[in-house]
Chain A
Amino acid sequence: MMNKINNKKTSLYLNILLIVIFAAVITLLDTNVIGDAYVRRILNLSAIYAIVSVSMNLVNGFTGLFSLGQAGFMAIGAYSVAIFTVPLAERAKIFYITPQNPVLAQIELPFVAALLLGGFLAALVAIMIGVPVLRLKSDYLAIATLGFSEIIRIVFTNIKSITNGALGIKNIPTMPTMWVFFGIAIISIGFMRLLITSSYGRAFKAIREDEVAAEAMGINLFKHKVMSFSIGAFFAGIGGGLLATLFATVDPNQFYFPVTYNFLLIIVLGGMGSISGTIIASFVVTAGLEILRFFDEPLTLFGISIPLFRPGLRMVIFSILLMLLVLFFRNGLLGQKELSWKLIIDLLSGKLPRKKTGEGGGVQ
């Protein structure tokens, strides 16, 4: 009993400590005291990937809907930011083949408004396609959503007076501080975390475990599925909008369907049904690819140049690491567990129960 209370208190202190360290590190990075633009860019990209991955996990991991439409929703968010935040004076130069729609050419929105608009548009589209498509299950749903994300991309390629077609849009204003990305990431992920621990979240998990049983318990399947799907789409749209401002440019090919697989990779790696696992995996995958650049450079050991070290090797190493991870951690890094101080302390002191599959309840 004593032990438990102590643990709770320690957790709280450790949490506060962690938040302070986190805020300090971001502020120091932001003011250029430590790190450089390279580190900042990787971290910003990781934060955006974390938002999109958690939004995808909400649908795939927590509600059990195998959806692959993330790239399409991101495209909606990204184009919303691109179309509405580019300064009016530069529009004509960008739309040099097909002039921009005269109505849109007059409208310039502040970044936050355009970002939210992108999120809401993505959610609206999600509801529109969710109503017919969410009646499908497993693989069929995956194919339908994948097809949808391709439709979005092709539509964006063709409505040239709005999106500038294949040429894309550039000169999107960029953000001066990392807090834009990390702040929005914290708010978004925090919201999704609250949602998942709420009664709605429990309903999502019930649907994931057994649809028939959930319905028997009085859960409105359809309502909850559409809700999870559209909220997931909303945050994917937000992530896409942030991506647009980070890169300062968008084009339709950026949202080609393999992009979705990046996020699928992240949530499988982090654990389907674990928010903290997904966040960790977002940072590991994004930063990992950059760290592994070491393998792309020529290496000379004791005067002998090793021929294996050449551009492309890092992708091989990355793939091997992924295979090892999937082989030894079937359920991803964290499975359905969340990272907590108790888990870390147990892990460090080797107190973790031997039998892993018995834990977490959800694994069958």
Chain B
Amino acid sequence: MKRVLSLLLSLLMVLTLFTACSPAASNGEPEAEEEPGPAEDADVIKIGVFEPLTGMNGGGGLQELGGIEYANKVYPEVLGKKIQLVVVDNKSDKGEATTAVTRLIEKDKVVAIIGSYGSAVSIAAGDIIKNAQIPAMGASCTNPMVTQGNEFYFRACFLDPFQGKVMATYAIEQGAKTAAVIMQNGDDYSVGLANFFIDAFKNLTGDENSIVDVSEFQLNESDFNAILTNIKAKNPDVIFAPSAATTAPLIIKQARDLGIDALIMGGDTWENPAIIDVAGEDAEGIVLSTFFDENDPATEEAQKFVEGYKKELAGKEPIIPAVAALGYDAYILLRDAIERAGSTDGVAIRDALRETKDFEGVTGIINFTEEGDADKNLAVIKTVKDGQFVFVDSVEVK
């Protein structure tokens, strides 16, 4: 028994060694790996995709991957060569993310990288990307630190400061004079967005005391009555509560139950049917900002994308997730830059990305700032009406 087992185990180890040495064989592209020359000599151009496909952010990562893969289907070629996507899972974990990105660069020899959903893993990968001089394009990582001081990291989405400004502008347009803010302690997205909203709101009203209350809650908290009672006493015109789609309906429901009739606003994570399902009637009238609206395509590219991707999804998802649109944009931005660079050299692609001018993406016209962030001036405001997300307005911020 013992000997059989140890034999079996050693066999397994030998087997795994074998597979580790020849990952390319599984891609059906053995010649690409055996060729010692640079990647541009091969007949495919590899673009790495690192996304959380399992773990905490698995759902969002899969949605984003859907958009990237669809873009690959629509535009399969660049410089006359086929683009091959190499997808690796980062398990929403920093350790995995860093090894996954190193693998893409060293083993798969990708020319560029797309990803990732979740800013923390993108920041962890940023250093490796910078040292390897491989350009990377984030799709939906909104934390400013992702691209900060890293000239090889770009992104297709707008940032938290912009989104905060948009919501503050919209609130003031609606006649709001005072606001209360609720954020999730420990969540970089929620804290970042809330802080930028506070800054923008104070700036725009010119009144330091226009934010009447700032409260924080913990992950997995489900009773917000204490926070909301406090807010009710201060009677703000709007409540801004950027939070995950699981918490948001609880806040909305409990606020309405307490008789708070202030306008309740959130960020892009709120564009999730789960909110309407859970909050029901109470969700009516909430306002959120998002990257893109399938009913109001901003560009021709968007029109094409909405029609094509709707068919592709074929009822799997009720609405096109905004992150899929961003994934699509990330891919076409990179492809365009490689085309213009005329080579697959990392530095050349980076320079081409920097020179991107008025690029027509699904989520609007895209230019890059000095830091490599998409300099968008357009956000979509949506509200909930009769149990549906409906388009209200596109807000432009200068």
Q: Is the CB of B149 within 8 A of A171?
A: yes
Q: Is the CB of A352 within 8 A of B2?
A: yes
Contact of B98 with A by CB under 8 A: yes
Contact of A15 with B by CB under 8 A: no
Q: Is the CB of A170 within 8 A of B123?
A: yes
Contact of A16 with B by CB under 8 A: no
B residues in contact with A328, CB < 8 Å: 5
Using an 8 Å CB-CB cutoff, how does the interface string of B1-40 with A read, 1 for contact, 0 for none?
A: 0110110000010001101100100111000000000000
A166 in contact with B53 given A37-B102, A93-B149, A247-B98 (CB within 8 Å): no
Interface residues of A in 207-239 (CB under 8 A from B): none
Contact of B237 with A by CB under 8 A: no
Contact of A22 with B by CB under 8 A: no
Cα distance A291–B6 in the bound complex, in angstroms:
20
Q: Of the 9-residue stretches B185-193, B281-289, B302-310, B336-344, which lies at the interface with chain A?
A: B185-193
Q: Of the 9-residue stretches B140-148, B258-266, B384-392, which lies at the interface with chain A?
A: B140-148
Q: Of the 9-residue stretches A55-63, A116-124, A129-137, A250-258, which lies at the interface with chain B?
A: A250-258
| Residue of B whose beta carbon sits closest to that of A352 | B2
With an 8 Å Cβ cutoff, the count of chain A residues facing the other chain is 52
Q: Is the CB of B106 within 8 A of A38?
A: yes
Using an 8 Å CB-CB cutoff, how does the interface string of A321-333 with B read, 1 for contact, 0 for none?
A: 1000000100000
A350 in contact with B3 given A251-B120, A291-B20 (CB within 8 Å): yes
Interface residue from A290, A294, A297, A321 paired with B99 (Cβ < 8 Å): A290
Using an 8 Å CB-CB cutoff, how does the interface string of A162-203 with B read, 1 for contact, 0 for none?
A: 000111101100100000000000000000000000000000
Contact of A12 with B by CB under 8 A: no
B residues in contact with A96, CB < 8 Å: 144
Q: Is the CB of A158 within 8 A of B102?
A: no
Contact of A94 with B by CB under 8 A: yes
Q: Of the 9-residue stretches B86-94, B318-326, B356-364, which lies at the interface with chain A?
A: B86-94
Interface residues of A in 56-103 (CB under 8 A from B): 90, 93-94, 96-97
Interface residues of A in 1-55 (CB under 8 A from B): 36-38, 41-42, 45
Cα distance A93–B144 in the bound complex, in angstroms:
10
| Residue of A whose beta carbon sits closest to that of B3 | A350
A253 in contact with B87 given A292-B16, A297-B23 (CB within 8 Å): no
Interface residue from A41, A167, A254 paired with B94 (Cβ < 8 Å): A254
Interface residues of A in 239-292 (CB under 8 A from B): 243, 246-249, 251-254, 288-292
- Most chain A CB inside 10 Å of its own CB: which residue of B103, B105, B195: B103
Interface residue from A168, A289, A292, A350 paired with B120 (Cβ < 8 Å): A168
Contact of B107 with A by CB under 8 A: yes
Cα distance A97–B198 in the bound complex, in angstroms:
11
Cα distance A294–B89 in the bound complex, in angstroms:
12
B residues in contact with A315, CB < 8 Å: 54
A249 in contact with B191 given A350-B3, A352-B2 (CB within 8 Å): no
Interface residue from A36, A167, A291, A309 paired with B106 (Cβ < 8 Å): A36
Nearest-neighbour CB distance to chain A for B178, whole angstroms, equals 22
With an 8 Å Cβ cutoff, the count of chain B residues facing the other chain is 49
A residues in contact with B5, CB < 8 Å: 328
A residues in contact with B95, CB < 8 Å: 45, 243, 247
B residues in contact with A300, CB < 8 Å: 26, 28
A97 in contact with B87 given A247-B95, A300-B28, A347-B6 (CB within 8 Å): no
A249 in contact with B99 given A94-B145, A171-B149, A293-B88 (CB within 8 Å): no
Interface residues of A in 286-320 (CB under 8 A from B): 288-294, 296-300, 309, 311-312, 315
Cα distance A154–B187 in the bound complex, in angstroms:
11
- Most chain A CB inside 10 Å of its own CB: which residue of B102, B144, B195: B102
B residues in contact with A38, CB < 8 Å: 99, 102-103, 105-107
| Residue of B whose beta carbon sits closest to that of A289 | B96
Nearest-neighbour CB distance to chain A for B28, whole angstroms, equals 5
B residues in contact with A166, CB < 8 Å: 185-188, 190-191
Nearest-neighbour CB distance to chain B for A290, whole angstroms, equals 6
Contact of A157 with B by CB under 8 A: yes
Contact of B345 with A by CB under 8 A: no
B residues in contact with A174, CB < 8 Å: 127
Interface residue from B3, B6, B54, B148 paired with A312 (Cβ < 8 Å): B54
Q: Is the CB of B192 within 8 A of A167?
A: yes
Q: Is the CB of A248 within 8 A of B54?
A: no
9 new A-B contacts at CB < 8 Å, known A170-B127, A290-B20: A41-B99, A166-B186, A166-B187, A168-B145, A170-B123, A251-B188, A289-B96, A291-B16, A312-B54
A-B CB contact pairs (8 Å), 9 listed: A37-B102, A167-B192, A171-B149, A247-B95, A248-B124, A249-B94, A289-B96, A309-B26, A311-B87
Query: Which 9 pairs between the two chains have the least Cβ-Cβ distance?
Result: A311-B53, A38-B106, A36-B106, A248-B127, A157-B186, A294-B19, A166-B188, A38-B102, A311-B89
- The chain B residues found within 8 Å of chain A, CB to CB, are 2-3, 5-6, 12, 16-17, 19-20, 23, 26-28, 53-54, 87-89, 94-96, 98-99, 102-103, 105-107, 120, 123-124, 126-128, 132, 143-145, 148-149, 185-188, 190-192, 195, 218
